Amino acid sequence: MFNPQFSISNKILVNIAKIEATEEVIRHSPLLPLWEKQFKEDAIIRSVYHGTHIEGNALAKDDAKNILAGKEVIGRPRDIQEIINYRKVIEFIDEEAKRKIEKITEQLIKKLHKIITYKILSDDQAGEYRQKQVVIRNSATGEVTFRPPPAIEVPFLMREFIYWLNKENSDLHPVLKAGIAHHELVRIHPFIDGNGRVARVLATLILFLGGYDIRRFFSLEEYYDKDAALYYHNLQKASAGDLTSWLEYFTFGAAIEFEKVKEKILKLSKDVKLKEKFGGRQIFLTERQMRLVEYIQEVGYLQNQMFKEIFPDISEDTVLRDLQDLIKKGLIKKVGSTKAARYVIV
């Protein structure tokens, strides 16, 4: 029976406390619809790029962004397909979380793998457990660093793992559950390829289902990819049996990413009146208008002579039209009537 071994260290407790505090702030912070949409799109781009880059995808972040926008990009067909597939699997887990699925099944995990490896693996390998032994090698030295369980054991190990995932773990924090699931799927290595991507996506889905979606604004993949050697070192270290150091690493990464999201949101929602005044309204702002509101929130006011600082290549008349529209929308007001007048948040 799968029974993960770990201790709740002080580091884990501190990280969980930070996650709880930031999640609370993020959930209750006001945010205009256009910003919310852009935050989600940015998180998807970061997840797709870093989630494939850590596996050796050679495309640049701008390439990933262009592929997701439907533009032509020059690159290896496999690299391009990996980007497309990762976007699709993120959309898939988002839909599963919205449906509030009650259980994570073998079929679901196989479906994740099938989406991730579409047009990359053959039909008899995509979404199917491996039929042969594999080893993990150091990319620099070629040395074998990890030997996953034999293929014959995979179905049994996966059934035990799935049983543990779905049993009542009322005292286990969802972030810890996500971290344990991430490691165990990598350890079992049930598929011939794509195990890391499946593990990272599964962990994210568990966070979503556990109520830690933080409005779909985060990307743990970016944290892993910034120091891939440390990521793999912690995974390998935990395979010896004690998951404590891995969970310290995992919860620290979640705390960092959640904190980044919190700071970004607070920057755009400093004025609590936004929640009271615009919480129930769908307000569309252009990118220029969004930048103007953000600037006023940061500085406290805006005057005509500041226009060039924000938009060096935009005429004063164009900026004034944007400001007039913001006034009509009730977002800002003009104080004074001369060129020295100030625009402030209502």
Domain harbouring 164, CATH code: 1.10.3290.10
181's tokens: 């699931």
Average pLDDT along the chain: 88
Structure tokens at 304: 């005509």
More confidently predicted of 137 and 174: 174
Q: Are residues 157 and 37 in the same domain?
A: yes
Q: Which amino acid is at 256?
A: I
Residue in this structure with the two tokens 């593990």, named with its chain if needed:
199
Q: Which of 216, 243, 268 is the last residue of a domain?
A: 268
Task: Round to whole Å and give the CA distance between 232 and 89.
Answer: 22
User: In this structure, are residues 83 and 66 in contact, taking their beta carbons and an 8 Å threshold?
Assistant: no
Please check whether residues 312 and 259 belong to one and the same domain.
no
- The tokens describing 201, both together, are 């996506």
- Cα 29 to chain centroid, rounded: 19
In this model, does residue 193 exceed pLDDT 90?
A: yes
Residues 195 and 159 in one domain: yes
Residues 215, 311 within the same domain: no
Domain assignment present for 333: yes
The average pLDDT across 266-294 equals 64
Indicate whether 91 belongs to any domain: yes
183/229 same-domain check: yes
Do 91 and 218 reside in the same domain of the chain?
A: yes
Instruction: Clarify whether residues 191 and 297 are in a common domain.
Output: no
Does 76 fall in a domain? yes
Closest CA relative to residue 224, chosen from 186, 193, 189: 186
115/209 same-domain check:
yes
Evaluate whether residue 201 is within a structural domain: yes
Domain co-membership, 175 together with 31: yes
With a cut of 80, say whether residue 133 has pLDDT above it: yes
Last residue of a domain, one of 202, 233, 268: 268
Q: Which of 268, 301, 334 is the last residue of a domain?
A: 268
171 vs 191: which has the higher pLDDT: 191
**Tally of domains within the chain:** 2
Q: Do residue 306 and residue 250 come from a single domain?
A: no
Query: What is the span of the domain harbouring residue 297?
Result: 285-345
Q: CB atoms < 10 A from the CB of 243, how many?
A: 23
Torsion angles phi and psi, residue 137, rounded to 5:
-115, 150
Residues 244, 234: Cα–Cα separation, whole Å: 10
CB 222 within 8 A of CB 257: yes
pLDDT tens for 292-330 read 887 887 788 899 988 888 888 889 999 999 999 989 888
Place 255 in a pLDDT band, splitting at 50, 70 and 90: very high
Residue 272: its pLDDT value, please? 44
- Does residue 178 share a domain with residue 90? yes
Same domain, 251 and 107: yes
pLDDT at 279 over 60: no
Residues 256, 257, 261, 267, Cα dihedral to 10°: 40
| Tokens representing residue 233 in the block | 């070192």
Q: For 121-263, list the strands marked E by DSSP.
A: 136-137, 144-146
How far is the C-alpha of 101 from the C-alpha of 131, rounded, in Å? 30
Mean pLDDT of 146-158: 96
> Phi-psi category of 57—alpha, beta or left, where left has phi over 0 and alpha has psi -120 to 50?
beta
CB 32 within 8 Å of CB 267: no
What are the structure tokens assigned to 324, written together? 């007039």
Model pLDDT, residue 338: 77
Contact between residue 323 and residue 343 where contact means Cβ atoms under 8 Å apart: yes
117 contacts: CB under 8 Å, gap ≥ 6: 85, 125, 126, 127, 191, 193, 194
Question: In this structure, is residue 280 part of a structural domain?
Answer: no
Residue 314 placed within a domain:
yes
Specify the pLDDT at position 284.
65
Q: How far apart are CA 226 and CA 145, in angstroms?
A: 21
Contact 39, 264 (CB under 8 A): yes
For the domain that residue 335 is a member of, what is the CATH number? Answer: 1.10.10.10
DSSP strand pairing (332-335 vs 342-345): antiparallel
The 3-state DSSP class for residue 258 equals helix
Q: How much is the pLDDT for 298?
A: 75
Q: Does any domain span residue 137?
A: yes
**pLDDT by residue (tens digit) across 21-59?**
998 888 777 666 666 777 888 889 999 999 999 999 999
What are the structure tokens assigned to 40, written together?
Answer: 């989600």
For residues 80 and 147, what is the distance between their CA atoms, to the nearest angstrom? 29
Does residue 244 form part of some domain? yes
- Cα–Cα distances (Å) from 155 to 151, 158, 288, in that order, read 8, 5, 54
